[in-house]
Amino acid sequence: MKSKNKSISFWLNVIFLSTLSALGACKEEPVVIVNPPVAVNTDPAQYETPFTGVPDARDATIYQVNMRSFSSTRNFQGVTARLDSIKALGVSVIYLMPIYPVGTLKSVNSPYCVKDYKAVNTEFGTLVDLRKLIDGAHTRGMSVILDWVANHTSWDNAWMSNKAWYAQNSAGVIQSPNGWTDVAQLNFSNADMRKTMIKAMKYWVYTANCDGFRCDYADGPPADFWKQAIDTLRNIKTHKLLMLAESDNSTLFTTGFNYTFGFNFYGQFKSIINNNQPVTNIDNLNTSEYAGAGTNNMVIRYLTNHDVNGSDGTALDLFGGKTGSMAAFVVVAYMKGVPMIYNGQEVGTTYRLSFPFTGTPVNWNQNQSMVEEYKKIIAFRNSSVAIRRGTLTSYSNPNICAFTKTSDTETVFVVCNLRNSYGSFTLPETVAGTTWNDAFTGTPIALSSQLTIAPYSYQVFKK
């Protein structure tokens, strides 16, 4: 039975193939139409519900967290345990320094030497731990942005298998940027690298529910990369994302960044306090740093951060100790910018949190009076539309920073003595001879034509 069926099948196949051959001799080969592949969404599933409380870019107060120095545990859990304290300070946006595994080849243990863009550094915990931190912040009404290092990778990043993704010299040797020998420069002429980078950024929006990115060394990648990346991220319609460029280049506002970085403000401010430079230098910065800025574009201003804390000194070192740094912070928070606080600044940490940030962690039990003063200053900022969004008019002189901020329904008058000596300030005609309220106590105060201000002090009035 089996032999007979095999014989019949053989002859039927011969006849069929012969017929096809004859047809092919007199007809053209049929056109085979293949449907284009269906586009598959390769983005990961959305973790939890996107946070709806992301502030307007103008209204934020940003808090920088360095996991390695933040707590004795030096991990995500140590940050999660203090979320209530960060919230009580008046913060609306937490910025986490890089959370990714650090490379070991040619490494100096820098968190900006990224080995894997889509993994969590086990030094800090797990993805679950990161999610708990972000969930906890969201529950308390705070957003969380992650640090993104787009310009370069570690030498042992898996991307090294794609040599064309890296910048090379004429001999084909992969280069390091700016003498940073622990990292390898990426090649932004390579379209595949760009797409993979942007996909990795999207990964964290979906997987960890983060609310944007602080982009390290934003002057490294070309502006058209940032335009491509931010346009793609903004197309995630379920999320409102905040984008911060670590750059003082105001043209980056046109690529979609909400914020640039006040490098020049910081440098000028140091010179005002330490080198007796005129306070009026700030007025020029208020113009230059906002060149080309839109309504929702702001400059991040600060007294310290992870870089300058180690290289230059603490806020107390650079800005006149406790009293001087508080007067300086009023200018940072109230004049023209979005304030950023570096962890430990609010408790007046006297020692540097130096690179690679594995030394003495912050002592949160010190200088509680400073914490209360930071709370007071930030609380008024959060309550005042004029401070956050109002029109600035400067009345500064060489020693005293003075200005009004005006909105439709509110005017605030701020006077900060940035010298370690008594100062006398002649009030502008719009202010002199009028009654205001103390911004912090509500007490009515009749102003004359002169104001005497104690060393390193500030006064804030509103009406």
Give residue-wise pLDDT tens across range 250-261: 999 999 999 999
- pLDDT score for 40: 54
**Is the pLDDT at 27 greater than 90, yes or no?**
no
Spell out the SS3 assignment of the chain. Answer: CHHHHHHHHHHHHHHHHHHHHHHHHHCCCCCCCCCCCCCCCCCCCCCCCCCCCCCCHHHCCEEEECHHHHCCCCCHHHHHCCHHHHHHHCCCEEEECCCCCECCCCCCCCCCCECCCCCCCCCCCCHHHHHHHHHHHHHCCCEEEEEECCCEEECCCHHHHCHHHECECCCCCECCCCCCCCEEEECCCCHHHHHHHHHHHHHHHHHCCCCEEEECCCCCCCHHHHHHHHHHHHCCCCCCCEEEECCCCHHHHHHCCCEEECHHHHHHHHHHHHCCCCCCHHHHHHHHCCCCCCCCCEEEEECCCHHHHHHCCCHHHHCCHHHHHHHHHHHHHHCCCEEEEECCHHHCCCCCCCCCCCCCCCCCCCCHHHHHHHHHHHHHHHHCHHHHHCEEEECCCCCEEEEEEECCCCEEEEEEECCCCCEEEECCCCCCCCEEEECCCCCEEECCCEEEECCCCEEEEEC
Q: Which two tokens stand for residue 434?
A: 């009028």
CA-CA-CA-CA torsion sign (301, 311, 119, 134): negative
Q: Is the peptide bond before 356 cis (omega within 30 degrees of 0)?
A: yes
Instruction: Return the closest-CA partner of residue 106 out of 171, 157, 172.
Output: 157
Which pLDDT tens digit goes with each residue over 418-452?
999 999 999 999 999 999 999 999 999 999 999 99
- Residue type at 411 in one-letter notation: T
Average pLDDT over residues 267-284: 96
Domain with CATH 2.60.40.1180 in the chain: 400-462
Q: How long a stretch of residues is the chain?
A: 463
CA distance 436 to 442: 9
* Residue in the block written with tokens 């994302």: 241
Is residue 188 within 8 A of residue 166, CB to CB? The reply is no
Given this model, what pLDDT does residue 199 score?
97
Portion of the chain with pLDDT greater than 90, in percent: 90
Residue 382 and residue 338 in contact, taking contact as beta carbons nearer than 8 Å? no
Higher per-residue confidence, 25 vs 129: 129
Say whether pLDDT at 23 is over 60.
no
Q: Please report where in the chains the tokens 């650079």 appear, as a residue.
A: 318
Amino acid at position 252, single letter: L
pLDDT in tens, 170-223: 999 999 999 999 999 999 999 999 999 999 999 999 999 999 999 999 999 999
pLDDT surpasses 50 at 322: yes
For 329-351, write each residue's pLDDT tens digit: 999 999 999 999 999 999 999 99
Tokens representing 224 are 């058209």
> Where does the chain hold its CATH 3.20.20.80 domain(s)?
57-388
Separation of alpha carbons 418 and 423, rounded Å: 9
Digit-coded pLDDT (tens) for 80-125 = 999 999 999 999 999 999 999 999 999 999 999 999 999 999 999 9
The pair of structure tokens assigned to 460 is 């804030």
Over the stretch 134-154, which tens digit does the pLDDT of each residue have?
999 999 999 999 999 999 999
pTM (2 decimals)? 0.90
* Per-residue model confidence (pLDDT) at position 292: 87
Is the confidence at residue 14, as pLDDT, over 50? no
Poorest-pLDDT segment among 40-49, 64-73, 215-224: 40-49
**Alpha carbons 154 and 244: distance in angstroms, whole number:** 23
Whether pLDDT at 312 is above 90: yes
CATH class for domain 400-462? Answer: mainly beta
The rounded distance, in Å, linking the Cα atoms of 186 and 168 is 9
Average per-residue pLDDT for the chain: 92
Q: Smallest Cα–Cα separation from 101: which of 120, 126, 80?
A: 120
- CATH of range 57-388; options 1.10.1740.10, 3.50.50.60, 3.20.20.80, 3.10.290.10: 3.20.20.80
C-alpha 262, offset from chain centre: 12
Q: Above 80 in pLDDT, residue 13?
A: no
Percentage of the chain exceeding pLDDT 70: 91
Task: Report d(CA 370, CA 29) in Å as an integer.
Answer: 84
Integer Cα distance of 277 and 265 in angstroms: 13
**Whether residue 378 has pLDDT greater than 60:** yes
pLDDT confidence bin for 30, thresholds 50/70/90: very low
Find out whether 74 and 68 touch, Cβ atoms under 8 Å: yes
Residue 415 reports pLDDT greater than 80: yes
C-beta of residue 149 within 8 angstroms of C-beta of residue 114: yes
In which band, very low, low, confident or very high, does the pLDDT at 313 lie, cut at 50, 70 and 90? very high
Q: Give the pairing of strands 338-342 and 298-302.
A: parallel
**For residue 20, what pLDDT band results from cuts at 50, 70 and 90?**
very low
